[in-house]
Structure 1
Amino acid sequence: MSAELSQFGNISYKRSLRASRIAVRIQPDGLVITLPVTKSQAEATAFVLSIRERILMKQNRIRQRSQNSILTEEKGYKTLSFDVHLSKANRKDVFFQFQEGKLHIEYPLEADLSSEKVQQACWKGIQYFMKKEARRLLPARVEQLARHHGFNFKDVKIQSGKTRWGSCSSQKNINLSFYLMILSPELVDYVILHELCHTVEMNHGDRFWKLMDKVTEGKTEKYRRELKKYHIPE
């Protein structure tokens, strides 16, 4: 590894016949650099160094988000439809009980809650119930908002997407990430309305934003700013 790139952590290179340019995937502890067959590692190094500040800033944001996502008994976790409570128990595995808007997680007495293994087990369970709740709640909310504002759509699917909150196809099929469950009710509605507006205006032109302002009662910019404060978990 080039000494110049050591500041970014572990570096791995991938050659791709399909790639037409150098691409960098930023991770908290390093970079994955994809190169076209026509590019050299020296060219990749030069490219990475040219965007050094941007990479370091994003790595720092990712690390901060990772820290904020560490589960503790004291702070627990809160989603759109349920709260998470953690406690130790005399058992050998991580146990989940979902009841009346609360997800109770019990983990072994001798286990370290801050360890990666226990954290991953807890998050896997939380995400399972988030997805289950998203499938229960979000399609009905899409139907409700569509009816209220006069939109027509074909279908709603709940997905595990981590790159965007939602999308709408030209066939008027709406896809929503189950990670919407980490947002406030107002922002969930904002994302849903955004996709419903795409059933009328597929691009982000002036007519789209005028329609968004109409259905959000002039609060589009406010909700856009608020949504930027949230990040889909890494």
Structure 2
Amino acid sequence: MATKRIIADDDFGQIVLRSRRGARNITMRVKPDGLYLTVPPRSRTEAVLEALRPFRARLLEQYLQVKSKRIDFDYRIQAECFRLSLAPGSWKCFTIRHTEEGMVIYCPPGTDFALPDIQLLLRNAIIRALKRAAESYLPSLLATWAERFRLTYNKVRITGARSRWGSCSGTRTISLSCYLMLVPAHLMDYVILHELAHTKEMNHGPRFWELLDSFTEGQSLRLRAELRKFRAAF
């Protein structure tokens, strides 16, 4: 059973230590709200922090790239397939509209962006905007690629998954994360082709990669490496 310890930190805001049964090494991951470490059971906090020391500078650089930015009228998302901004509105509630410039969140008069509750509300509004855009864009893109390579699937689901871009079930239901709207178009295509390849090969064995290479002109491993390095704007 995992246990959790939270340590205040000047660089990361917080360092979250999770001990997990079966863990043999320390794994480190930055998130917008801090640094998360998975450690073996009964690890001493002092020893873990000492093990972190040689990696702190590199992890801090990554953290500063993903650290949550305050959302206000200067906030923008300018992804290749998704654009979003905020604007003053005259309504009493936050309202999302699709415009020629992209998605716009109209804010009520007097909105105080310094309030944590307002920041949470805005983040949830952005997720709703991402889902709305994904639902209108990704299914047709999936259908286009499936038709091109004569592949079939049962249905498509748009999810809010953060830990994976997509998946394909044994019943050939393809799930795509709404956060795909934030990646460059060629990586979006790669994720979709990856899941379509699973309709033929449900594992990641040699035949899977041979099939995916045939879809991507032999670029599947390069595209996978590029996607792993990608950091979304939101």
TM-score (norm 1): 0.74
Q: Which residue of 2 aligns with 1:188?
A: 188
Q: Which residue of 1 aligns with 2:42?
A: 40
Q: Which runs of structure 2 are paired with 1:1-234 in the superposition (5 Å)? A: 10-11=14-15, 19-21=21-23, 26-27=30-31, 30=34, 39-42=41-44, 45-54=46-55, 57-66=58-67, 69-71=69-71, 73=73, 76-79=76-79, 81-89=81-89, 93-100=93-100, 102-107=102-107, 110-111=110-111, 113=113, 116-232=116-232
Letter in 2 for 1:21: A
Residues 99-124 of structure 1, C-alpha deviations (whole Å, 9 max, x = no match): 34622233356545576554433332
Give the C-alpha shift of residue 13 in structure 1. 5.8
Letter in 2 for 1:60: E
Q: Which stretch of structure 1 is more off in the superposition, 145-154 or 90-99? A: 90-99
Structure-2 separation of matches of 1:181 and 1:226 = 16
* Structure showing the higher helix proportion among its residues: 1
Residues 173-194 of structure 1, C-alpha deviations (whole Å, 9 max, x = no match): 2111110011222221110001
Question: Which ranges of structure 2 fall in alignment gaps of 5 or more residues?
Answer: none
Contact 1:86 1:104 in 2 (8 A): yes
User: Kindly tell me: are residues 82 and 233 of structure 1, through their superposed partners in 2, closer, same or farther at Cα, counting changes over 3 Å?
Assistant: closer
Letter in 2 for 1:20: G
Structure-2 separation of matches of 1:169 and 1:55 = 38
Q: Which stretch of structure 1 is more off in the superposition, 190-199 or 92-101? A: 92-101
Contact 2:31 2:66 in 1 (8 A): no
Question: Which ranges of structure 1 fall in alignment gaps of 5 or more residues?
Answer: none
In the comparison of the two structures, how many residue pairs are matched?
227
User: Kindly tell me: are residues 149 and 90 of structure 1, through their superposed partners in 2, closer, same or farther at Cα, counting changes over 3 Å?
Assistant: closer
User: Kindly tell me: are residues 194 and 95 of structure 1, through their superposed partners in 2, closer, same or farther at Cα, counting changes over 3 Å?
Assistant: same
Aligned to 2:167, what secondary structure does the other structure show? strand
Contact 1:162 1:233 in 2 (8 A): no
User: Kindly tell me: are residues 154 and 45 of structure 1, through their superposed partners in 2, closer, same or farther at Cα, counting changes over 3 Å?
Assistant: farther
User: Kindly tell me: are residues 223 and 33 of structure 1, through their superposed partners in 2, closer, same or farther at Cα, counting changes over 3 Å?
Assistant: closer
Contact 2:81 2:184 in 1 (8 A): no
Structure-1 separation of matches of 2:204 and 2:83 = 35
